[in-house]
Amino acid sequence: MTQINRIAGGQIDRKSALKFTFDGKSYTGHDGDTLASALLANGVRLMGRSFKYHRPRGPLTAGSEEPNALVELRTGARQEPNTRATTAELFDGLTARSQNRIGSLKFDLMAINDRFSNFLTAGFYYKTFMWPAAFWEKIYEPIIRNAAGLGSLSKQDDPDIYDKGFLHCDLLVIGSGPSGLMAALTAGRAGSDVIIADEDFLLGGRLNSETHSVNDQSGADWVAATVAELASLPNVRIMPRTTILGAFDHGIFGALERTADHVAVPAAGKPRQVLWRIYTKHSILAAGATERPIAFDNNDRPGIMMASALRTYANRFGVTADRRVAVFTNNDDGHRTAADLHAKGVKIAAVVDVRPDAPRSLDYEVIQGEVINTKGRIGLTFADVRLADGSTRTLECGAMGVSGGWNPNVHLTSHHRGRPDWRDDIAAFVPAAELPQGMVVAGAAMGDFSTAGALRSGAQAAKSALGIKGRLPKMPQAEDAPVALKPFWYVDGTTRGWLDQQNDVTVKDVKLSHQEGFRSVEHLKRYTTLGMATDQGKTSNMGGLAIMAELTGKTIPETGTTIFRPPYTPVAMGALAGRSVGMEFHPTRLTPSHRFAEERGAVFVETGNWMRAQWFPIEGETHWRESVDREVIATRNSVGVCDVTTLGKVDVQGPDAAAFLNKVYCNGFAKLAVGKVRYGVMLREDGIAMDDGTAARLAEDHFVVTTTTANALPVYRHMEFVHQCLFPDMDVQMISTTEAWAQYAVAGPNSRKLLEKIVDQDISNDAFPFMACANITVCGGLRARLFRISFSGELAYEIAVPSQYGDAMIRKIMEAGAEFDVTPYGTEALGVMRIEKGHAVANELNGTTTAQNLGMGRMVSKKKDSIGSTLSERVGLNGTDDLRLVGIKPVNPADPAPAGGHLMNATGPVDATHDQGYVTSSAYSPSLGHQVALGFVKSGNNRYGEKMRLVSPLTNVEVDVEIVSAHFIDPEGERLRA
């Protein structure tokens, strides 16, 4: 098809021929076109179906405020729903489809909804689908979701990259129309760091859409010259295709730059979009204004558009929506559309103006009257006009420009709750004094609608924002027409006149809302869904508000406004996620033995950000239990090695280091001898256990504290809090060294023999007894640390070397341990052995348990002050039937004892009232040949030997168990002292 509605002029490259398809049909457009302008050029007005009634719709606007022309772009994984055809930049090969239709766009089967519109009015969902309640989820909602809706998702992973970036400037100029350009120029010439951003791919704002000249240049030429000067300034960054989405606290703005939406596929490695976080001291909102419609019956037919949009299509794109166009206006601005189109040879059916004193024209007819209805099933064909004398007349036209005046784009000024002020002279809201910090508003966004006014106010805004001294530079000459308008919101007698075309809200719906008592604007919005679509009611809110004001007998400012919220236009989730997707969702932490573990075929588990070896399968093992059982047995019989680098390490130094640890641990550390390690429990101030670990005293003024893997950061933060906020004069210094040292647990009866081959010093039981620690050297001189501590319950050590030697160290341990069949073990075996030994971990320190619950109540020193010591003595935490940590074993060794199950008395009811406790950890013990579990039972320390039932009603488990000591293995601790 040829471009039958392409007319002269415009900023398009007519030499280019971009092929694209819409609903499978091929068309051609030009560089500089949007999808909407190219479709209109090809005579396509119908671009979609409405949300609820499936009415045929075409574009209403030529910009991002578009409620109607939402389409699906691209195919396959890049399929993107709900894109505005009015902003989608045309490129060669673009594939677009209409959406929200069943069948073809012209014969949408769901258009039947329109016939039943009486049943689908405001509040329809609330009223109709209330009963029976169960029907909602299963029947009503799926049907409604299918019928009322938007585009569809590809359901494939997005193949594109999205970046997040950070920019800093002195001044952010939002919008590049005359006021924005003038502001950027003024600030840029003064040497400030300026960013000027515009959502459009072509800078210049309305100057591209009007025929006004600036000085003796065309608007577009002045824009080009100004942009060229800005581009030459190193302190100015020009960002087209960049939407400022939101104004956040203290001069932070979110901006979405569409770096590759205008090409079929982004270049390899390049992002499709960049979400920028812009930090600026000052901002100038020069976002322009949005023209608002007038409501009349059937005002939503394809071809009926904003008058300014028709001008944009004609002047910027060289396109007319039809060869015969009417205009309906309440202000002088609407007449420009007729004049501009007439000048380009488009037939003007008539200009219908509601005012008696409308300007006349020699070129076309101007009628005083109102459009009361339209015809045309899938596009405008005729418009009925009621004349001032009450008679009616029918105009033949394929397009109509409607102008109800302009609304300043105040959106970003209300992101901090700012409410706009009403101005009677322009019948519109403008930003009030209460603005986001550092913001100044200029141009049409402030109600300065003339070109000269915008230029002047842009320059003034830059001066006042940045405190630039001196007089304003000489302003370019430009039109300075005053606003001439009669407020007029809807034609009397209108019922099915659309206010919100995206959510299908009519004048009748607003009246119904009022009738049913929803009269505040916030209620009106929620009851009718007016302004709740993805366009946030940019073209519809004012109309609804004005009608509600009229119905309630209040003025518009008394009626009030709803609040615009970020984002200004919709944002793809991919852009918000940035690069934090898939494996890069969060950073990964690798232990120093990672490569060694990979070589051994380890199965890894994510613990926090760490990747830890879970077990090391060997040839012939088909089930993880086989590997884990083998690792446990090998460790308990000879020696095993496990990477424990992930435990948090905090280096604590200073003369008051011991006194400080006395504060953060509930047990005493002041008297710990140099060269010794002690187990410690940290409480929260409320007496609940926070974390446990060890502190090793390497010198009088030097401790190394370990924390659990997950709590490394919170514990460090807590320790800094205790120091800086509670005991600021303690002479203690802390720094995290978690990653600085590679640390390995070497456990099992042969661990000493193994380490004796590596460690340069004497580590006999006498020289280096249980709970000893020291700075040592290994392998003939490498600095290292050795701790004789045991998590497994075996004779065991932890040896630490600087991380860069961690890989060499594990290999050295394996080499030295070959004669003992040293076995690397993972977190599962580690877990099995600690359960067998009755050591608590996060399962037990679960944020509800006290030292008392954990069986460590006596550890809480009463002779000193420590965090949590006072509140741990509260009556409520010290009842006689408190939970106590116990061991649990199944009576029948073949039975499971699953974690998460609850414990009930041997007889009696099974319910929450009779709950005796719960199981926190469970594992199969290869050493004992049955499951072992840890858990909490009321007065558990007095119930050893008692039979109970372990139940899990959700998983149909009921097992007879026996309560035992938590120390299943070596309760006297002989092994670890050997």
Partner 1 sequence: MIIDHPLLGPRDAAEFTYLGDASLIDRPDWQSDTAAQDFYEYGYLRDNPAGWHQELWFHEGGDRSWLVVTRNTLTHEIKSVELARDVARQRGRSK
Partner 2 sequence: MHDLKPTTALGGAKPRVDTIGALTITENIGVALASVAARLNGEKKTAQVLKKLLGDVPGPGRAQLHDPEAGFWMGPNQWMIGAPMVTHELLADQLKDSLGDAASVTEQSGGWVVFDVVGPNMIDAMERICPAPIRRMVAGDAQRTTIHHLSCFVIRRDADDHVRVIGPRASAGSLHHALAGAAHSVA
Give residues in contact with partner 2 (CB under 8 A): 161, 163-168, 269-271, 274, 277, 279, 579-580, 584, 586-592, 594-595, 609-610, 645, 651, 653-655, 701-702, 729, 731, 733, 735-742, 777-783, 801-809, 812
Distance CA 396, CA 357 (A): 24
If the CB atoms of residues 31 and 163 are measured against partner 2, the closer one turns out to be 163
For CA atoms 331, 332, 336, 338, the dihedral sign is positive
Q: Which of partner 2, partner 1, none interacts with 944 (beta carbon under 5 to 8 A by kind)?
A: none
Number of residues lying near partner 1 (CB under 8 A): 29
Position 869 contacts partner 1 (CB under 8 A): yes
Q: Which of partner 1, partner 2, none interacts with 150 (beta carbon under 5 to 8 A by kind)?
A: none
Min CB(204)–partner 1 separation in Å? 33
Q: Could you give phi then psi for residue 639, rounded to 5 degrees? A: -160, 140
Position 720 contacts partner 1 (CB under 8 A): yes
Cβ–Cβ under 8 Å, residues 294 and 334: no
In one-letter notation, the amino acid at residue 90 is L
DSSP of 73-94 = ES-GGG-EEEEETTTPBP-TTE
Cβ–Cβ under 8 Å, residues 21 and 13: no
Alpha-helical regions (H) of 822-890: 827-837
Among 725, 894, 912, 954, binds partner 1 (CB under 8 A): 725
Distance CA 726, CA 224 (A): 62
In one-letter notation, the amino acid at residue 429 is F
| Contacts with partner 1, 838-867, as mask; x by CB under 8 A | ---------------------------x--
The partner residues of 403 in beta bridges, in order of sequence, read: 329
* Contact set for partner 1, span 258-287 (CB under 8 A): 277, 279
Q: Which of partner 1, partner 2, none interacts with 595 (beta carbon under 5 to 8 A by kind)?
A: partner 2
Q: Give the three-class secondary structure for 931.
A: strand
Q: Which of partner 1, partner 2, none interacts with 422 (beta carbon under 5 to 8 A by kind)?
A: none
Q: Give the three-class secondary structure for 952.
A: strand
If the CB atoms of residues 129 and 279 are measured against partner 1, the closer one turns out to be 279
Q: Which of partner 2, partner 1, none interacts with 161 (beta carbon under 5 to 8 A by kind)?
A: partner 2
Stretch that binds partner 1, among 22-30, 539-547, 720-728, 822-830 (CB under 8 A): 720-728
Q: Which of partner 1, partner 2, none interacts with 741 (beta carbon under 5 to 8 A by kind)?
A: partner 2
Distance CA 709, CA 842 (A): 10
Among 468, 871, 910, 957, binds partner 1 (CB under 8 A): 871
Helix (H) or strand (E) holding 920: strand 917-925
- Strands (E) across 347-468 are located at 347-353, 366-375, 382-387, 392-396, 399-403, 406-408, 421-423, 428-430, 439-441
If the CB atoms of residues 415 and 884 are measured against partner 1, the closer one turns out to be 415
* Contact set for partner 1, span 369-428 (CB under 8 A): 416
Stretch that binds partner 1, among 394-402, 518-526, 616-624, 725-733 (CB under 8 A): 725-733
If the CB atoms of residues 681 and 932 are measured against partner 1, the closer one turns out to be 681
Min CB(702)–partner 2 separation in Å? 8
Q: Could you give phi then psi for residue 611, rounded to 5 degrees? A: -105, 115
In one-letter notation, the amino acid at residue 484 is A
The partner residues of 386 in beta bridges, in order of sequence, read: 370, 392
* Contact set for partner 1, span 778-797 (CB under 8 A): none
Position 721 contacts partner 1 (CB under 8 A): yes
| Tokens 């009321």, residue located | 938
Distance CA 680, CA 652 (A): 15
Position 727 contacts partner 1 (CB under 8 A): yes
For residue 891, which of 951, 960, 964 has the smallest C-alpha distance?
960
Stretch that binds partner 1, among 35-43, 95-103, 392-400, 724-732 (CB under 8 A): 724-732
Q: What angle is formed at CA 144 by the lines to CA 141 and CA 148, rounded to 5 degrees?
A: 145
Position 8 contacts partner 1 (CB under 8 A): no
The partner residues of 289 in beta bridges, in order of sequence, read: 408
Distance CA 709, CA 267 (A): 41
Min CB(723)–partner 1 separation in Å? 8
Q: Residue 665 corresponds to which tokens in the numbers above?
A: 């641990």
Stretch that binds partner 1, among 48-56, 245-253, 369-377, 565-573 (CB under 8 A): 245-253
Min CB(686)–partner 1 separation in Å? 5
Stretch that binds partner 1, among 40-48, 152-160, 248-256, 505-513 (CB under 8 A): 248-256
Min CB(925)–partner 2 separation in Å? 32
Q: How long, in residues, is the chain?
A: 978
If the CB atoms of residues 736 and 846 are measured against partner 2, the closer one turns out to be 736
Would you tell me how many other CB atoms lie within 10 Å of the CB of residue 1? 11
If the CB atoms of residues 30 and 718 are measured against partner 1, the closer one turns out to be 718
If the CB atoms of residues 106 and 416 are measured against partner 1, the closer one turns out to be 416
For residue 175, which of 354, 374, 418, 440 has the smallest C-alpha distance?
440
Q: Is the peptide bond between 953 and the residue preceding it cis, with omega within 30 degrees of 0?
A: no
If the CB atoms of residues 14 and 874 are measured against partner 1, the closer one turns out to be 874
If the CB atoms of residues 268 and 875 are measured against partner 2, the closer one turns out to be 268
| Contacts with partner 1, 466-505, as mask; x by CB under 8 A | ----------------------------------------
Q: Which of partner 2, partner 1, none interacts with 870 (beta carbon under 5 to 8 A by kind)?
A: partner 1
If the CB atoms of residues 292 and 589 are measured against partner 2, the closer one turns out to be 589
If the CB atoms of residues 215 and 609 are measured against partner 2, the closer one turns out to be 609
Position 739 contacts partner 1 (CB under 8 A): no
Longest dimension (CA), the chain: 115
If the CB atoms of residues 280 and 709 are measured against partner 1, the closer one turns out to be 280
Among 717, 783, 858, 947, binds partner 1 (CB under 8 A): 717
Position 873 contacts partner 1 (CB under 8 A): yes
Q: Which of partner 1, partner 2, none interacts with 686 (beta carbon under 5 to 8 A by kind)?
A: partner 1
Position 730 contacts partner 1 (CB under 8 A): yes
Among 231, 713, 891, 906, binds partner 1 (CB under 8 A): 713
In one-letter notation, the amino acid at residue 586 is H
Min CB(416)–partner 1 separation in Å? 8
Q: Residue 334 corresponds to which tokens in the numbers above?
A: 């609407």
Q: Which of partner 2, partner 1, none interacts with 733 (beta carbon under 5 to 8 A by kind)?
A: partner 2
Min CB(415)–partner 1 separation in Å? 12
Distance CA 646, CA 590 (A): 9
If the CB atoms of residues 535 and 651 are measured against partner 2, the closer one turns out to be 651
| Tokens 């460090």, residue located | 716
Question: What is the spatial order of strands in the sheet that 823-824 belongs to?
Answer: 773-778, 782-787, 796-802, 741-747, 640-643, 823-824
Stretch that binds partner 1, among 260-268, 386-394, 727-735, 938-946 (CB under 8 A): 727-735
Q: Is the peptide bond between 132 and the residue preceding it cis, with omega within 30 degrees of 0?
A: yes
Position 874 contacts partner 1 (CB under 8 A): yes
| Tokens 């000493």, residue located | 752
Distance CA 336, CA 263 (A): 34
The partner residues of 382 in beta bridges, in order of sequence, read: 375, 396
For residue 10, which of 221, 314, 308 has the smallest C-alpha distance?
314
Distance CA 709, CA 831 (A): 14
For residue 915, which of 877, 887, 878, 953 has the smallest C-alpha distance?
953
* Interface residue list for partner 1 (CB under 8 A): 248-252, 277, 279, 416, 656, 659, 685-686, 713, 717, 720-721, 724-730, 865, 869-871, 873-874
